[in-house]
Structure 1
Amino acid sequence: MTGRPSPGDRVDAHGPAGEAATSASASPAGERRRDRPDWTGRRLELEVGAPAHGGHCVARFEGRVVFVRHALPGERVLAEVTEDHGGSFCRADAVRVDAASPDRVPQPCPVARPGKCGGCDWQHATADAQRRIKAQVVAEQLRRIADVEWPVAVEALPGGLLDWRSRVRMAVDPAGRPGFRQHRGHAVVPVEHCPIAVPGAVEAVADRRWRRDLELEIVADDAGEVHVSELRPDRPARLVAGGGVVVERAVGREWRLSPGVFWQVHPAAADALADTVREWAQAPAGGLAWDLYGGVGLFAAVLAEQVGADGSVLVVESARRSVSDGIANLGDLPQVRWEVGRVERVLGSPELADERPDVVVLDPPRKGAGRAVVDAIADRDPERVVHVACDPAALARDVGLFLDQGYTLAGLRAFDAFPMTHHVECVALLTR
């Protein structure tokens, strides 16, 4: 279920936070090397180097790595250190640009700046530069983690850089105003408009005051309706605006979903990913396909077309509401069957011990599938595995595990499904 947070992920501004581990290490929070002063608040003149996973670039100062946001490769900037735990690296924001990159452009959002909203990482870069940076990050993660050299190009989706985000999570500040959280912080930056959100989504909640302990989930569907739900940690989500049935369209179908059920945030992403799965899965007629972390069955619908009425598609999904919606939406495809539960548990059940899928499609959460799931898939020896991923580091780790099991990376496509942010959607094909 691409793009959804793993359990325990924190939601920052427009989406799940969390960066892959880098080669640099830091002391645990609260501990500091006694021979190294705290640089927090210090201003450094830096030559900015290559981009790194997480929406920043790498610079060096006095032997330490500095991860710099609001900068671009090749720039000379003045950066203020925002976080320093005394390890081999610290974090900083570029507060002045002394020598700008030709890829730099004015930010369209007034709060996409140091100390403000943490949702967008690359508003100060051209569209071409954003995709080039993301391609470099994906390639670097594959090289460093999976030991794979692969030429990566990030493909644009229709619609441009603005007005695309159809699902938005907002927090509420102490005054009851909705907004987005600061980067790596909890403070809420109130907003009345978001240039990357579908018009009308943020505006649907910005004109009133809310309880300060709430988060708000806003969904603008393909039918033009905006659905708003109140989220509190101690009770179920409560729908406060909209009809309660989210209408989406993809793979030639209309999908009727519950407001909180996962769906792609970019209007063009579902079809782009499903078309790639269709091309690469090549499930044989009468065959068996697995759709792991299958959500409401977007990819299962494609696989069902390929295996036909005499074949079978197994969807494994842990969210019961997604499964309920999936069963209702794919009721015309009896070859699709459903299992509710965590993928590693379901694959280890006696009921599936003798199943040998021809193809496996997996779309794990941000943290990736991991060794237990990869080993369980490889034990069944499918000819083809199509891996959909929204985190380059997690994808690289999973690709490396499949390579260890005798698979080969046979194809990779990357899509700019989250313009202005550091997130990128990838699909990898692994074959025996």
Structure 2
Amino acid sequence: MANKVDIPLRLVLEDEEWLSDVRLQSIFDALTASGATVRVAGGAVRNALLGFPVTDVDLATTSPPDEILHLGEKAGLRTIPTGVKHGTVTVLSVSTTPLHVEVTTLRRDVRTFGRHAEVAFTDDWLADAARRDFTMNALYCDRSGEIIDPLGGYRDLIAKRIRFVGDARARIAEDFLRILRFFRFIAQYGEGPIDPQGLAACRELREGLDGLSRERIRQEWWKLVAADRAEFVVEAMADAGILAHVLKSDTDLNAFKRHIKIESFLQLKPDSLMRSFNLFPCRGADVKLLRERLRLTNEETTRLERLMAAGRVTPKLRPAERRAVLYRLTPPTFRDAVLSSWAQGGEPTEDPDWAALYRLADDWQAPAVPLGGRDLLAQGIPPGKEIGALLASLEDWWIATDFKATREELLAKIPAMRQFQG
């Protein structure tokens, strides 16, 4: 049953620094000069009401795009016709650190087909709100912070209930990415059970995800998988047969859930890459596959390749072995290897031995090798491949001594090693 909420007749955002920012207010000044109505739309209002950071501000106006361009230029602002066909102009404030704001003319849908729609400009705020995805995104506020709520979305917002605007199937058919956005919003902003009508529509139309670009999927997935309710939402997506269409793979929910619990136990920030890695049953066995599915960056791909080369790292290693493995892997890969080994195993997710192994990367700093190429040259060894091979062998022996061998001991080891290698 939906929560009963007493909604004030007039709600005002007060003491919001982003709203009182002189750069934003200068844009309001420019765009209202002709008498048009201009309001902040969607995400900024939603986040401010929920207490989340406001990082991007979008404005909606009754002015058509050509008038937005004219008014902005007249006020000395920089304007960019980023999407004039769909009513959007980017406006930059005049300052040493310009504020970028997307300004969009109110629209109503004439025809919709997938991600794109044929729109007509309007001055009807209700019609504009009716074409948005979720009720909590159909909120506006004026420059003083007064909330305008054409569809009653405020009730859903304070109940943290994610609902599609109007008919869920119709909203999804306009853009199938909204299936993933629905679950991402639940993970980031929601509480309580999933809206049954929205869930049913997502399940019914899930095959529409197959036609989306992997770049668009990654953008939503990266936020979803790092959100507070990721565990609950990912399992719900799996149960509804939706997750397979997102990741194009079977999944290992157990390792995924364990990884999240381990992150919480160690007080780590959510790691979208490692969470996704442990969700894939194939994991890095085919890093190229994972890269294609999630459009991994070169840096992310290299990180997983190093992790796969590291192998399993467990508390069964003796202290000297732990230090040797940490030295060879480097701290970042060592931490990844411990976390993935822990998540994929059966040990408790609050195991102190595993925690101590993970923290070794912070508690122990590897010493520098006390011998270098110049030392070998000083011993009369000619430049070339022999020096590189000798240095590698000497380093291996130094590691085997638990990093205790001195420079003098390493120098004394050279004749025997040269004889062995020769």
Same-fold call, TM cutoff 0.5: no
Higher helix share: 2
TM-score by length of 1: 0.30
Based on CA coordinates, which of the two structures has the bigger radius of gyration?
2
Higher relative contact order (Cα pairs below 8 Å, separated by 6+ residues): 1
TM-score (norm 2): 0.31
User: If each structure's strand is expressed as a fraction of its own residues, which one has the higher value?
Assistant: 1
